[in-house]
Chain A
Amino acid sequence: MAGSQRVYKQRIKSTQSLKKMFRAQELIAASRIGKARDRTAAASPYARAITRAVSAVATHSTTQHPLTSERTDTNRVAVLVVASDRGMAGAYSASIIRETERLVERLVAEGKEVALYAAGRRAISYYSFRGRTLAGTWSYGSDAPNSEIAGEIADALLGAFLAPVAEGGVSELHIVYTQFVNMVTQRPRVVRMLPLEVVEGVAPAGKHDVLPLYDFEPSPEAVLDALLPRYVRSRIFSCLLDAAASELAARQRAMHTATDNAEDLIRNYTRLANQARQADITQEISEIVSGADALAAS
């Protein structure tokens, strides 16, 4: 019976070391969330400035731009999945991939051909394991994206959108990312990025009900030409930042749950170990007593 005591002790020890790891991961994630949210806040003046400028141009000129007009010459569409580089974040990657699969199914049902772009190693390995071809992959520090990687992704996707049909041009771009609602809620979200619908940006601050009549330098077309790619880049960057904050929040929560579970296990094993010890003692006593009885009887 001493054997089962030893087994329980071993299990308690290994669960304790696991618990320490989970706790460390939880604390790391918690400390990084603050930084991720600071980064989101730091990027927001840029996003605001650019949205305001785009809506100013959009309301004051009727210029058509390739990025705002629908393409009808191809039925290829691009889907960008923003997942994480590492696991240990509960259902974070699984739910973003499930959302992507749903979107892809819908697009295929509409008779479209889907070109997948994946950001984050979890998404890349998911699709490459299943032998699906990916049109583009990026793996970067998914919990701390920078504006260069956002620029790289945006350039590749804008390139695909503006490319002719023969070179794999796409008519739409959807982004699947996780929206950071708050520390406990992160929601997978699909946005159609291209062709751009600038309408949503036309919501100027309250005191400016009418946007002023702008002078454009050198011309409205040139300004739009310079603005729209930057607008897309800034939108993609904010998606990446949101996804990073969501990933960290999901990881913190998952690791918190794992720590709690480890504590439960330790408690159970301790009880079982105590029981086993008690059983050992009882057996020993009864052996001694029966030995003494046998001696007394003889």
Chain B
Amino acid sequence: MAQLNVDLVAADRKIWSGRAQRVTAPAADGEIGILADHSPLLSVLREGSVRIVAEGESLELRVTGGFLSVDSNQVTIVADSVESVPASR
């Protein structure tokens, strides 16, 4: 199954990057879920939590805003600030 390449970056550093099955993010009009082969999308993010479900791990981070772009399985989440450090469960 195709996977997503996810990059999560904040203004001054890269926070997480890797392959994931599913990403959910707080888009402007409501929570948005992204699976592989999603159509290209550029969205503004509200304050909320971003969840990344990857092989064997999943992480949840609070972001205070930013934007999200999806383009041929490349997901880039640009966050203004990320509140909790990634902790794998």
A residues with CB within 8 A of B: 39, 42-43, 45-46, 49-50, 52-53, 56-57, 146-147, 150-151, 208, 211-218, 222-223, 226-227, 230, 233-234, 237
State A61–B77 Cα separation when bound (angstroms).
Answer: 21
The reply to whether A223 and B42 form a contact with Cβ atoms under 8 Å apart is yes
Cβ-defined partner of B78 (8 Å) among A46, A56, A216: A46
Cβ-defined partner of B42 (8 Å) among A42, A46, A56, A150: A56
Cβ-defined partner of A43 (8 Å) among B7, B12, B29, B39: B12
Known A43-B11, A147-B12; contact A217-B32, beta-carbon cutoff 8 A: yes
Q: Is the interface of A mostly helix, strand, loop or mixed?
A: helix
State A9–B80 Cα separation when bound (angstroms).
Answer: 59
Known A215-B42, A223-B42; contact A42-B69, beta-carbon cutoff 8 A: no
The reply to whether A216 and B11 form a contact with Cβ atoms under 8 Å apart is no
State A172–B40 Cα separation when bound (angstroms).
Answer: 34
B residues with CB within 8 A of A: 7, 9-14, 27-29, 32, 39-44, 65-67, 69, 71-72, 76, 78, 80
The reply to whether B11 and A217 form a contact with Cβ atoms under 8 Å apart is no
Residues of B within 8 A of A214 (CB): 40-42, 69, 71
Residues of A within 8 A of B7 (CB): 45, 49
Residues of A within 8 A of B39 (CB): 215
The reply to whether A230 and B78 form a contact with Cβ atoms under 8 Å apart is yes
State A50–B27 Cα separation when bound (angstroms).
Answer: 17
CB distance from A13 to the nearest CB of B (A): 45
Cβ-defined partner of A42 (8 Å) among B14, B32, B71, B78: B14
The reply to whether B29 and A218 form a contact with Cβ atoms under 8 Å apart is yes
Number of A-B contacts (CB under 8 A): 87
State A46–B65 Cα separation when bound (angstroms).
Answer: 14
Known A217-B27, A230-B80; contact A52-B69, beta-carbon cutoff 8 A: yes
State A215–B69 Cα separation when bound (angstroms).
Answer: 10
State A146–B10 Cα separation when bound (angstroms).
Answer: 12
Chain B residue nearest in CB terms to A39: B12
The reply to whether B10 and A46 form a contact with Cβ atoms under 8 Å apart is yes
The reply to whether A50 and B78 form a contact with Cβ atoms under 8 Å apart is yes
State A212–B13 Cα separation when bound (angstroms).
Answer: 27
Known A49-B7, A50-B78, A52-B69; contact A217-B29, beta-carbon cutoff 8 A: yes
The reply to whether A46 and B11 form a contact with Cβ atoms under 8 Å apart is yes
Known A53-B69, A215-B39, A217-B27; contact A46-B44, beta-carbon cutoff 8 A: no
Counting from the closest, the 7 A-B pairs by CB-CB distance are A217-B43, A147-B11, A212-B40, A42-B13, A226-B44, A218-B28, A45-B9
